[in-house]
Structure 1
Amino acid sequence: MGARTRDDGRRRARVLGAERLPPPRGPVEGRALLVSDASTATATTATSEPARALAAVPRAGWHVATVAATRRETANAARLELEVDGWPGNAAGQHLDLRLTAPDGYTATRSYSIASSGSGTRVVLAVDRLPDGEVSPFLVNEVRVGDRLEVHGPLGAFFVWRPVDHGALRSAGDGAGGAASALRARPVQLIAGGSGIVPLFAMATAHAEARDLTPFRMLYSVRTPDDLFFAEELMALAATSDDFRLDLVYTRRTPDGWPNPAGRVTREALEGAVLPATERPIVYVCGSTGFVERVASWLIELGHDARDIRTERFGGI
């Protein structure tokens, strides 16, 4: 954006407090994601609510975003609430590009999933700091309320979920001779690894806000209890909704009294913690590349149709 005036009293975001950013290095910032596996999931008109979302996502564009609030999400992550001029709204599961500009004009752009459901006026991000990152350390440690950033979005038309019009499904079933079961909303299985929870949290929030009756189940794998994103919100959703179930896996340290030992998700654990293939769920998987590839492979081995598995991934194992 170049040098901005301060006539409105707001701070212009400085990139890492330096005159110039270093060249990008290592994996792109931990996020979920630039790469969507759209080829693995084609949906039928009668059964898949994500298919309807493809034609309903808002158009993307560049916008000026003002940081309205910040809070620490974990020891290494921060939640940012942005007021975005001209933001068209977003579907749960979409992402945006965020661009920082140094005083000499050098820019760095990264993609981040949107944590907010799209129903409110603010765009919420949850950013995990990478030790060798170019952008995430600034967003987690240095950004302040009043800073202005550039964002491009919303982006992504496939890895999205929208509330289901159950009344329309019932009407369609009645019109088809009472075959409502063939048109009922299919259950949704969310599977997250680490910061891959971000777009799936947006879906779970949209589901709760709409009081949607679609059965939702979430499997969330995280290192320790201290590394949980959206801990309070997820526990509240699980406690108050009959249509949302949360299963947690801790890979390094469990809470006191936890019934299962710490360890990575295995094929056997996955089978016991997700909706069975016989229920034909739509499955959303987000996490590191290795996590997503392992989980998707196991799901297929367990009988899930590859066309019903939607994945987003970021770098790492």
Structure 2
Amino acid sequence: MFSVQFSPLRVTACEMLTSDVMRLRLQHPTGRRLPPFEAGAHLQIQISEQHRRAYSLCSNPSDLSHYEIAVKCEHAGRGGSQALHALARPGIELAASLPCNLFALAPEAEHHLLVGGGVGLTPLMAMAYQLAAQGRAFSFVVAVSSAGSSPFVDQLAASGWPVELVDNPRQKLDLRRRLEGLPANTHVYCCGPAGLMQRVREQCADLPGDQWHEEAFVGSETSVQTGFQLHLSDSGLDIEVPAGGSMLAALRQAGVAPDTNCEQGICGSCVVAWSDGEPLHGDQCLDDDDRSEYIAVCCGSCRSARLTLAL
């Protein structure tokens, strides 16, 4: 259902943007132009047999001589970013998918407000390149802890884009006031740490739903405060998911190993059919019609006491 084809891309440059964020330049092994992409797109990278991860493209969409991605080494993560940091060096080839865009710019917007922080700036960088090239109205709000520790800060300072750096965003970020001075059809795009995204989401709560856009490459499954039971219709198993626990972890503990690749709700490899319950979706690979029949178990959960899966 969600088949992905991979081709080799060669790493031609590695640069540490901060102590834990590495930018990689990827080119075709023969130097050919790469397939086009639109701002907001991501690649899936097959890092190893165990690790496939999705990374946003942060390079200029008009320059197809190369792609660029930025990867934060998550020391408390599931190992993919650590493996890529250890592996990446000029000359090595990585298997990569074609670009896929689940975080596209809205063509009808009168103004585009980009808000992000940390490695979440990656898709917003590509958006800024594209908007500036097209002469479209935008502003770029960057949450920073300190200028020296934020990726892209030097590039942003030299860009000429309408960028505002906001230090101490917990206290100083005020998007409600900013939105009051922007056109009614302003679209907001947010990507960054979970706490920042929650604050931005709250401050943009009065926006119409179709004017809010976010991307979160989740590192853990969606959870709920109460436990629930999974009934596996194919095998007849009943599996308890504890309060605050994850569906995927409970399945694995019970000896059920659904296919998983990116474990970020992006690739669709772990999608299974569901019935008889009220699922909670956390993916970015299914649309509303798909979700009426399927759930991505890597980042899904359940509001009801029981959910049936076709496993």
Q: Secondary structure at the match of 1:279?
A: coil
Q: Is the 8 A contact 1:189 1:218 kept in 2?
A: yes
CA deviation map 1:188-209 (0-9, x unaligned): 100102211000011111223x
- Which of 176, 198, 205 is residue 271 of structure 1 equivalent to? 176
2:82 counterpart of 1:137? yes
Equivalent in the alignment of 1:49: none
Number of residue pairs the alignment of both structures matches = 213
Structure 2 counterpart of 1:118, from 47, 61, 73: 61
**CA deviation profile, 1:220-240 (whole Å, cap 9, x unmatched):** 1122212222122211223xx
* 8 A contact 2:43–2:57 mirrored in 1: yes
Give the Cα–Cα distance (whole angstroms) in 2 for the partners of residues 313 and 275 of structure 1. 26
Map 1:159-238 onto structure 2 (within 5 A): 159-161=103-105, 186-208=110-132, 210=133, 212-238=134-160
SS in structure 2 of the partner of residue 314 of structure 1: coil
Distance 1:272 1:214 in 2: 22
Unaligned runs of 5+ in 1: 1-58, 165-182, 239-243, 252-262
The question of 1:93 aligning with 2:17 is answered no
Instruction: Give the aligned partner of residue 10 of structure 2.
Output: 66
Q: C-alpha offsets along residues 236-279 of structure 1, whole Å, 9 cap, x if unaligned?
A: 223xxxxx42111223xxxxxxxxxxx52566x22344564643
Contact conserved, 1:97 with 1:110, CA < 8 A, in 2? Answer: yes
Select 1:281's aligned residue among 186, 208, 216.
186
> Alpha carbons of 1:278 and 1:66: their partners in 2 closer, same or farther (altered >3 Å)?
closer
Q: 1:160, 1:125 → 2: CA distance?
A: 17
| Divergent runs of 4+, >6 A | none
How far has the Cα of 1:153 moved from its partner?
A: 2.5
Cα deviation for residue 161 of structure 1 reads 3.0
Q: Deviations over 1:49-88 (max 9, x none)?
A: xxxxxxxxxx973110110111111111111000136842
Deviation at 1:93, TM superposition (A): 0.8
Structure 2 equivalent of residue 306 of structure 1: 209
Helix, strand or coil at the partner of 2:159: helix
* C-alpha distance 274-194 of structure 1, shift in aligned 2 (>3 A): farther
Q: State the shift of 1:299 in Å.
A: 0.7
TM-score after normalising by structure 1:
0.60
Aligned residue for 2:162? 245
- Could you tell me how far 1:160 is from its partner in structure 2? 1.8
Residue 124 of structure 1 and its aligned partner are, at CA, apart by 0.2
Q: Provide the C-alpha distance between the structure 2 equivalents of 1:275 and 1:109, rounded to a whole number of angstroms.
A: 42
Q: Distance in 2 between matches of 1:227 and 1:110?
A: 24
- 3-state secondary structure, aligned to 1:219: strand
Identity %: 27
Let me know the Cα RMSD of the aligned residues.
2.7
Change (3 A) 1:315 1:249: farther
Following the alignment from structure 2 to structure 1, what is the Cα–Cα distance between the partners of residues 181 and 141?
13
